[in-house]
Structure 1
Amino acid sequence: MNSLVTLLPFIVLIGAMILMTRSAKKKQQAAVDMRNQVQPGSGVRTIGGMYATVKEVNEDTVLLDAGPGVDLLFAKNSIGAVLTDDEYNRIVHGIEHDLKDDADTVPDDASSLIKDDEPVDAAPADEKSVDLGKKDVDEEPADAAAAKQDEEPKKTDGDADAK
């Protein structure tokens, strides 16, 4: 019984290592499968963060079109992600996919919950603005600035000699 209690932490540690290894192998296999499914015309992101279009796929390399007249040869394992056409166009070309064309697509934000005829307020009406005590220099009128200067006694050289 005493030896079983001594071996229990080692058994738990070995079990945890086996589970972590299986998880890492599954992720690695999914990445290999994704890279093997790369086809010419697909938009990809490299592990360095460069976006390009696949021009040619070889056994261990891919030829990427990074722009007009720029073809780059990369190792296949440098492909970080294969992007959908919509995602690639949104990121690279700034083209937003029109959600109204797809009735099955749900928008990311809550804009579909607001009716078109309802006004959209930035803040509820019951909230009051908070004064943090900061004043801009431009907000003070010129008359107020002149009045402040008149209130302060001006020191002259004669005042300093009198003391």
Structure 2
Amino acid sequence: MQEFSGNSSFLRSLLVFVPVIAIFWFLVISPQRKEEKNKKEMIKNLKKGDKVLTIGGIFGVVKKLGDTDVILELSPNNEAVFIKNSIDKVLSEKNEVKKGIV
């Protein structure tokens, strides 16, 4: 009888553990994967002339794209090379006006 109660407590703890893992998955891992997928898609769709914001807070316009890097014009006659993964956002006209960046 004692062995049976040991299995019973194991099943109870398992019934608590499985929902905790499921909640963790849906609240943490799943959104992170979705965000990662969206960023890869955004980087894949970069094109010359796009206004972008880097993860360092630098605004620029895409001048040239390489396989792993991008050349941004930061101001007239001022260009810098960045790794594509350092691009945080592509800014559209709507985003700029909405946030007052213009």
User: Which TM-score applies when normalising by structure 2?
Assistant: 0.78
Secondary structure of 2:38 counterpart: helix
Establish whether residue 13 from structure 1 lines up as the match of residue 20 from structure 2: yes
Distance 1:77 1:65 in 2: 17
Larger Rg: 1
Deviation at 1:8, TM superposition (A): 1.8
RMSD: 1.8
Identity of aligned residues (%): 30
Q: 2:57 maps to what in 1? A: 49
Secondary structure of 2:53 counterpart: strand
4+ aligned runs moved over 4 Å, structure 1: none
Aligned residue pairs: how many?
A: 91
Residue pairs, 1:31-50, within 5 angstroms: 31-50=39-58
> For structure 2, which runs of at least 5 residues remain unmatched after alignment?
1-7
Deviation at 1:44, TM superposition (A): 0.5
Deviation at 1:69, TM superposition (A): 1.3
Distance 2:62 2:15 in 1: 52
Q: Higher relative CO (CA 8 A, sep ≥ 6), structure 1 or 2?
A: 2
Residue pairs, 1:82-101, within 5 angstroms: 82-85=90-93, 87=96, 91=101, 94=102
> For structure 1, which runs of at least 5 residues remain unmatched after alignment?
95-163
